[in-house]
Amino acid sequence: MNKINQLFANSQDQKLLSLYFCAGCPTLEGTADVILTMQRRGIAMIEVGIPFSDPLADGPVIQSAATQALKNGMNLKTLFAQLKAIKDQVEIPLVLMGYLNPILHYGIEAFCQSCVESGVSGAIIPDLPFKDYQEVVKPIADKYDLRIIMLITPETSEERIRFIDDNTDGFVYMVSSAAITGAQKNFDDAKQAYFRRINAMNLRNPRMIGFGISNKQTLEAAQQNAAGAIIGSKFVTLLNESKNADEALDKLFEALQS
């Protein structure tokens, strides 16, 4: 069974925590250590960012991390080599998150094959049109048992949400707002209403809520309204400041208690 499906099948009553970081930042060779440290510290699933020069959906924190990673020399070929080296040590799901351009340059089938060879269970491609996903990417991803995760936002229509739910597998990435990534202090009434509206739809796929989670209030709101939460900008900031995954996680867990 794909590790993503296995995670949610075994964790129905748990409040999962997934973290994002950008491969190659703060250092080119540190990616494996960050992943293994997260796993040891109990993180349920890891999103590994593929750095790109024009990350449209990302806020300044993740944009800066991507710029640094590119300066450090990170690319898909290097990332896959690093992941392959630790494949046998990684038991939790790894999900690559990146934009379509670098993946197209690498080749869709080559990308899916390299994911499997490197122990990657899924991919999130924010700028992948759904029509292209269905007609081009999905058949190849299915061949390699790779999950392509789709995003929904407060602006996504109910019809489209159900269409995504019917045509994807793994989980639905529920973006807390239509804005770019970045930490928030709380989720306002409109976001809470959005969470309740999606809850009432009783979707087939589990949901993870991301964008803006940085403290106890936003974490609990996400975990109460989905299978779990995804934290990106807050952890990336702490990792860049400390240059040490254990220290960054200590500070993150402290922030999530306040």
CA distance from start to end of the chain: 37
Is residue 13 annotated as part of the catalytic site, yes or no? no
Kindly report, residue by residue over 210-248, the tens digit of the pLDDT.
998 989 999 998 999 999 999 999 999 999 999 999 999
Helix (H) or strand (E) holding 49: strand 45-49
In the structure encoding, which two tokens stand for residue 135, read together?
Answer: 């007609």
Query: Catalytic annotation on 58?
Result: yes
Residues 6+ apart with CB under 8 A from 26: 68, 239, 240, 243
Among 33, 47, 91, 189, the active-site one is: 47
- Of 164-168, 174-178, 254-258, the range with the lowest mean pLDDT is 174-178
Per-residue pLDDT for 183 more than 50?
Answer: no
Which entry of 13, 33, 58, 91 is annotated as an active-site residue? 58
Whether residue 207 is predicted with pLDDT greater than 50 in this model: the reply is yes
Residue-wise pLDDT for 97-114, tens only, equals 999 999 999 999 999 999
